[in-house]
Amino acid sequence: MFENLQTKLNAVFEKLASRGRLSEQDVELALREVRLALLEADVNFKVVKDLVARVKERAVGAEVMKSLTPAQQVVKIVHEELLRTLGEPARLDFSGPPPLVIMLVGLQGSGKTTMAGKLALNLRKSNRRALLVAADTYRPAAVTQLEVLGKQLDIPVHSEGTRVPPPEIVSHALRRAREGAYDAVILDTAGRLQINEEMMRELEQIKAIAKPREILLVADAMTGQEAVNVARGFHERVGLTGLILTKVDGDARGGAAISMREVTGVPIKFLGVGEKLDALEPFHPDRLATRILGMGDVLTLIEKAGDAIDRAEAEKMSRKLVKGEFNLEDFLKQLHQIKKMGPLTQLLDMIPGMGKMTKEIAPEVTDKQFRQIEAIINSMTLEERRDPRILNGSRKRRIARGSGVTVTDVNDLLNQFRQMQRLMKQLGQGGRGLRGGLMDLFRG
Amino acid sequence: MPRPAARREDGDVFGIFRKNPEQQAQDRAKIEASLTKTRQGFLGRIGALFQASEITEDTWTELEELLIQADVGVNTALKLVERLQARVKKENLKRMADVRAALKAEMVALLSNSPFDTLDEPRLLTVVLIVGVNGSGKTTSIAKLAKYYRERGRKVVLAAGDTFRAAAIDQLKIWGDRVGVEVIAQAPGADPGAVVYDAIRACQESRKADMLIVDTAGRLHTKFNLMKELEKVRSVCARQVHNAPHETLLVLDATTGQNAISQARHFKESVQVTGIILTKLDGTAKGGIVFAIEQELGLPVRFVGTGEKPDDFAEFDPIAFVDGIFA
């Protein structure tokens, strides 16, 4: 898999001396990585070009926030641009007179039929009655599939087999929906290529008859560069009102969403996240943006770090650290700051060059252990925290009682702390590398 | 056995012994037709690019961009361009026509050239397992594959191993009727392993079939339990028939982007996929990801699907494929 963009950017900025303000040269180097990351995430090539240009415009000369490294600053700008492109989530438009006609369109195998079932179920949860319409008379057993889904959900399906032309079926279904006072009609149309003239014409016919207020393009999250052509093709012919991304529960980065948003400008309305019929989620631009960047939730943490870490304090801390003057009191302060930011395992990912170590450390250093360490240090006197060497058997027993742990636990903590002190001192003398990475964190 | 090079040079780009000239012409026409749109699209511009007279820095950049747009992937695109640059320098190529031939050769070299004949070896029963993510086109491909081998004199039976998705069994049965092969199925929700077991027994005993093609439910490669289920289906094949499944083909939608590599990797790890069926090539998608899949995982493309009709299907040929892209 593609390496985390953050890590790559850190590597780029490691080579650069400049701090404080992003120079054009810094940004150029960083944007190369950004471009690659977006392409690897299947964002369309042209869309990437535009996006990178926008990021560049914003990034050159930008002041680096005191809590961020230059790499983080660039990622933040990219993230914001992605968010802007992805746009706000939108709901179904129930503003007009009922029934709301929803037409699902898309390529073969994008997941329209399953999505029709999911939408119907979703509407029922908000007390709306939907009529499913089997308008795919081409794919073998597509009608049966929708009927089976309808039966499973106990939601009515309008079907007329495979001999009646789809526009006619739709026309009948609409009459039935009006007579039956349904709140919504969901049209499951056949999958088709956007370049298939005959099939696109059929879609236009159905649109003319059904006058749908929602025309949603159902698209596979795994779609590659082709996403722009598909979205543009459907948008030009039938005028989309929204996008639905399916199979988001896989490991695709979902860059196609960016491409499709960019060429259509219509909002993303839902995400399909599993095979079960309730696996439908509203769209969260933030989550999708971080996913496209391949960064998990780290970006949120960067922002949290901005709130939590006091830069001057961090500077002082890192100096103490490398000199080996770091004591348990400092350690506790550090813990408090870290705790303000969220789970430790995610936090460690932020530290440049710590990616590999994270994997080794993470399982042992759980948040539960975090709380235990905190309790132990809290049970010490100030004097003990500043100079743990004075801790004798009796003091240790008192601390153990006070924090509800055993003396062994206290000893373990002290051992770990001494090891860490030694390590830091060595690294402090050893130049860059891990120390550089840690310094970056503390420097913010 | 490697195919003799001479067959290539005399213009027989398909070079498949068992095909008669008529079939060759048909297959070639199908691939050509399916690639026409590809040609008119982005990749067609590679052709235009080569008509420009001089090689400049822009040539390489533009070439790289065009490859990326074909879903070839950044790494593979860069690698290809680098190799091409080296070759152009080494062979001191000046004419655009030569550069073009060199790129074609480099692209063909990334694709396997091994003949696909494992399914033709004489056996009492040949088992083909078909796997893939949801909506990639497994059922349709199975029907096409069944027809393909039926027309080559095999007695083919299909196993309805997708017992999960609504109406998947009905879909396979309709296809079975259309292409004239029998489908062995159980009720929806049945254990796919049991379906396959039954189907194998049926082939060996009552049906006297010599080829069984097993349909499986679409599943995302990241779903641990579903992949375990697939492993079980495979092991049923392996237990019941010597060396089975003789081919495990991953059905891959040509519209898929970089995630296809992850798909192929996961499916290969759990059920030892041996090749790819590349579907939906009749659209404007280029399927360029197969270069990376071949490179990174050594999985060759075996067949291409070029439409919704049972005949929209052909054996994959790397030269025809790349030729079509550049024509």
Q: What is the CATH number of the domain that holds A345?
A: 1.10.260.30
Which tokens is B51 given? 């008509």
A45 Cβ under 8 Å from any chain B Cβ: yes
ipTM associated with this complex? 0.84
Distance CA B67, CA B102 (A): 15
Domain residue limits at A438: 309-443
Which pLDDT does position B50 carry in this prediction?
60
Final residue in a domain of this structure, among A35, A57, A86 = A86
- Residue in chain A closest to B175 (alpha carbons) equals A140
Q: Average pLDDT for residues B73-79, to the nearest whole number?
A: 91
CB B273 within 8 A of CB B262: no
Distance CA B246, CA B251 (A): 16
Cα A276 to chain center, whole Å?
A: 21
Which pLDDT does position A353 carry in this prediction?
38
Interface test with A, best of B68, B258, B267, B286 (most A CBs within 10 A): B258
Which pLDDT does position A354 carry in this prediction?
41
Q: Is the pLDDT of residue B75 over 80?
A: yes
Which pLDDT does position A83 carry in this prediction?
92
Helices A434-443, A407-429: inter-axial angle, 10-degree rounding: 100
Q: Is residue A300 part of a domain?
A: no
Distance CA B289, CA B301 (A): 11
Which pLDDT does position A114 carry in this prediction?
97
Which pLDDT does position A87 carry in this prediction?
92
Q: Which range (B59-63, B86-90, B262-266, B323-327) has the least confidence?
A: B323-327
Q: Is A106 found in the same domain as A80?
A: no
Query: Looking at the 3D structure of chain A, how many domains does it have?
Result: 3
Q: Degrees (nearest 5) of the Cα angle B170, B171, B172?
A: 90
Q: Enumerate the residues of chain B whose CB falls inside 8 A of the CB of residue A145.
A: 165-168, 170-171
Q: Average pLDDT for residues A235-242, to the nearest whole number?
A: 97
Which tokens is B261 given? 């590599």
% of chain A with per-residue pLDDT over 90: 51
Helices B96-110, B74-90: inter-axial angle, 10-degree rounding: 130
Q: Is residue A288 part of a domain?
A: no
Q: Is A119 found in the same domain as A68?
A: no
Distance CA A43, CA A120 (A): 31
A249 Cβ under 8 Å from any chain B Cβ: yes
Run of H or E including B182: strand B182-184
Interface test with A, best of B259, B278, B308 (most A CBs within 10 A): B259
Strand A214-220 relative to strand A100-105, pairing: parallel
- For B130, phi then psi, to 5°, come to -110, 125
Distance CA A435, CA B325 (A): 51
Q: Is A333 found in the same domain as A428?
A: yes
- β-bridge partners, A105: A217
CA distance A113 to chain B (A): 10
Q: Is residue A347 part of a domain?
A: yes
Q: Is residue A358 part of a domain?
A: yes
CATH number of the domain that residue A163 is part of: 3.40.50.300
% of chain B with per-residue pLDDT over 90: 62
Distance CA B58, CA B49 (A): 10
The confidence band for B100, taking pLDDT boundaries of 50, 70 and 90, is: confident
Run of H or E including B301: strand B301-305
Q: A-contacting residues of B 138-197, CB under 8 Å?
A: 139, 164-168, 170-171, 173-175, 178, 188
Q: Is A105 found in the same domain as A62?
A: no
Which pLDDT does position A324 carry in this prediction?
63
Q: What residues contact A357, with CB distance under 8 A and at least 6 apart? A: A348, A434
Q: Is A150 found in the same domain as A72?
A: no
Q: Is A124 found in the same domain as A63?
A: no
Mean pLDDT of chain A: 82
B312 Cβ under 8 Å from any chain A Cβ: no
* CA distance to A54, A63, A73, A283, B257, per residue, from A288 (Å): 19, 27, 19, 8, 17
Q: Is the pLDDT of residue A351 over 50?
A: no
Which pLDDT does position A296 carry in this prediction?
52
Which pLDDT does position A246 carry in this prediction?
96
CATH number of the domain that residue A75 is part of: 1.20.120.140
Q: Is A347 found in the same domain as A240?
A: no
CB B93 within 8 A of CB B50: no
Q: Is the pLDDT of residue A309 over 50?
A: yes
Q: Is A236 found in the same domain as A132?
A: yes
Q: Is the pLDDT of residue B43 over 60?
A: no
CB A275 within 8 A of CB B134: yes
Whether residue B308 and residue A45 make contact (CB cut-off 8 A), yes or no, is no
Distance CA A372, CA A403 (A): 8
Whether residue A39 and residue B68 make contact (CB cut-off 8 A), yes or no, is yes
Q: Is the pLDDT of residue A441 over 60?
A: no
A148 Cβ under 8 Å from any chain B Cβ: yes
Run of H or E including A48: helix A45-59
CA distance A375 to chain B (A): 39
Query: Which stretches does DSSP call E strand in A237-279?
Result: 242-246, 268-272
Q: Is A191 found in the same domain as A58?
A: no
The confidence band for A326, taking pLDDT boundaries of 50, 70 and 90, is: confident
Distance CA B135, CA B146 (A): 19
Return the higher-pLDDT residue of A444 and A108. A108
CB B42 within 8 A of CB B285: no
Final residue in a domain of this structure, among A26, A54, A86 = A86
Tell me the DSSP string of A331-392: HHHHHHHHHHH--HHHHHHHSTT-HHHHHHHTTTS-HHHHHHHHHHHHTS-HHHHH-GGG--
Q: Which range (A254-263, A360-369, A399-408, B262-271) has the least confidence?
A: A360-369
Position B320, amino acid: A
Q: Is residue A291 part of a domain?
A: no
Q: Is the pLDDT of residue B219 over 90?
A: yes
Distance CA A100, CA A186 (A): 8
- Residue in chain B closest to A111 (alpha carbons) equals B135
Position B248, amino acid: T
Which pLDDT does position A250 carry in this prediction?
86
Q: Which range (A278-287, A315-324, B83-92, B275-284) has the least confidence?
A: A315-324
Q: Is residue A120 part of a domain?
A: yes
Query: Which stretches does DSSP call E strand in A36-147?
Result: 100-105, 130-135
* Residue A375: closest CA among A342, A408, A332: A332
Cα A341 to chain center, whole Å?
A: 18
Q: Is residue A435 part of a domain?
A: yes
Mean pLDDT of chain B: 85
Which tokens is A347 given? 């936090």
* CA distance to A108, B38, B41, B175, per residue, from B308 (Å): 10, 18, 21, 11
Which pLDDT does position A293 carry in this prediction?
81
Task: Sheet containing B182-184: give its strands across.
Answer: B182-184, B156-161, B211-216, B126-131, B247-253, B275-279, B301-305, B313-315
* CA distance to B122, B146, B147, B177, B212, per residue, from B153 (Å): 12, 11, 10, 18, 14
CB B71 within 8 A of CB B257: yes
* Residue A277: closest CA among A157, A112, A117, A128: A117
Q: Enumerate the residues of chain B whose CB falls inside 8 A of the CB of residue A190.
A: none
Of these ranges, A95-109, A329-343, B14-28, the one predicted with the greatest mean pLDDT is A95-109
Q: Is A115 found in the same domain as A78?
A: no
Distance CA B136, CA A434 (A): 45
**Is the sign of the CA dihedral A393, A397, A403, A406 positive or negative?**
positive
Q: Is A330 found in the same domain as A277?
A: no
Distance CA A403, CA A393 (A): 15
Which pLDDT does position A439 carry in this prediction?
41
- Residue in chain B closest to A36 (alpha carbons) equals B74
The confidence band for B283, taking pLDDT boundaries of 50, 70 and 90, is: confident
Q: Is the pLDDT of residue B98 over 50?
A: yes
CA distance B139 to chain A (A): 10
Q: Enumerate the residues of chain A whose CB falls inside 8 A of the CB of residue B165.
A: 145, 275
A94 Cβ under 8 Å from any chain B Cβ: no
Q: Degrees (nearest 5) of the Cα angle A114, B71, A40?
A: 85
Q: Is the pLDDT of residue A268 over 90?
A: yes
Q: Is A269 found in the same domain as A165?
A: yes
% of chain B with per-residue pLDDT over 70: 83
Q: Is residue A278 part of a domain?
A: yes
Q: Is the pLDDT of residue B27 over 90?
A: no
Distance CA A79, CA A83 (A): 6
The confidence band for B14, taking pLDDT boundaries of 50, 70 and 90, is: very low
Q: Is the pLDDT of residue B247 over 90?
A: yes
